[in-house]
Amino acid sequence: MSWWQIGEGYGTQSFGGELRTDLVDCGFCGETGNFDFESRLKKENSVGKVLHYDTLKCEQCGNLTSVFWGNGSSGLQRFHQVPWLQKTTKWPSHWPDDVGRYWLQAQRSVEASNWDAAALMARSAVQLTLRHQHAEGRSLYEEINDLGSKAILPPIMVEWAHEVRVLGNENAHPTLGAAPTTDRDAKAVVEFLTMLLKIVFDLPNQIDDHRDSRKKE
């Protein structure tokens, strides 16, 4: 895929064609949207598509962030930045807050190599996500299978769930002498959660954004 396709069919709604600095986090201090433009470059191709190469200066800590971005023909914008924030601090606004809180704690636990905590919080976020979709069942497996039978989850996700050992742990409470969660198992359930959130929340939101942008054409 060419970089000239950035923003085409995937991204966030752009406002007035300018960079959405309100979505950019300083990679050093974590401050969001508090920038001045240090420098700005752009390049246009033969069909009028423009790619932007901006350098932002954080007003909080004074460090620089490079942002490569572009707007798509439907009004969506996408960007990539260097450096990016190494610590997870927030979740997308279109996620339910309870799911976001659990996901955030799972991600931060992975970053800190706290594998038991990461697996527990990710498993809880999976179950919350399923229940937001009105999943039925007496166990996590049954709830996943229920959404699979309703075609909310694709078959590959149902199959994947049965391969993630932590998702099959019916007892989420501590037990005497239990072995610690391995980094492999913790990362597996967090990875499953990430894809689940993309299917259940992110893709529908992107479709809605795309439809809204087409109505404004």
- Whole-number mean pLDDT of the chain? 88
* Residue carrying the six token digits 């001045």: 36
| Same domain assignment for residues 104 and 78 | no
Q: How confident is the model at residue 13 (pLDDT cuts 50, 70, 90)?
A: confident
Residue 35 domain-assigned (yes or no)? yes
Write down the pLDDT at residue 37.
97
Write down the pLDDT at residue 92.
87
| Same domain assignment for residues 77 and 101 | no
Residue 51 belongs to domain spanning = 3-82
Residue 159 domain-assigned (yes or no)? yes
Residue 134 domain-assigned (yes or no)? yes
Write down the pLDDT at residue 167.
76
d(CA 115, CA 111): 9
| Same domain assignment for residues 44 and 120 | no
Task: Summarize pLDDT for 76-113 with one digit per residue, the tens.
Answer: 999 999 998 766 667 888 999 999 999 999 988 988 88
Task: Say if strands 76-82 and 64-71 run parallel, antiparallel, or are unpaired.
Answer: antiparallel
Position 16 pLDDT exceeds 90: no
Which of 48, 82, 116 delimits the end of a domain? 82
CB 131 within 8 A of CB 143: yes
Residue 165 domain-assigned (yes or no)? yes
Q: How confident is the model at residue 213 (pLDDT cuts 50, 70, 90)?
A: confident
| Same domain assignment for residues 103 and 78 | no
| Same domain assignment for residues 109 and 75 | no
Residue 92 domain-assigned (yes or no)? no
Write down the pLDDT at residue 15.
82
- What tokens were used for 63? 């460090």
Mean pLDDT within 52-58: 97
The CATH number given to whatever domain includes residue 187 is 1.20.120.330
| Same domain assignment for residues 121 and 200 | yes
Residue 87 domain-assigned (yes or no)? no
Which of 82, 108, 126 delimits the end of a domain? 82
Task: Summarize pLDDT for 127-186 with one digit per residue, the tens.
Answer: 999 999 999 998 888 999 999 999 999 999 999 988 887 776 644 556 777 788 888 888
Closest by CA to 200, choosing from 57, 96, 90, 123, is 96
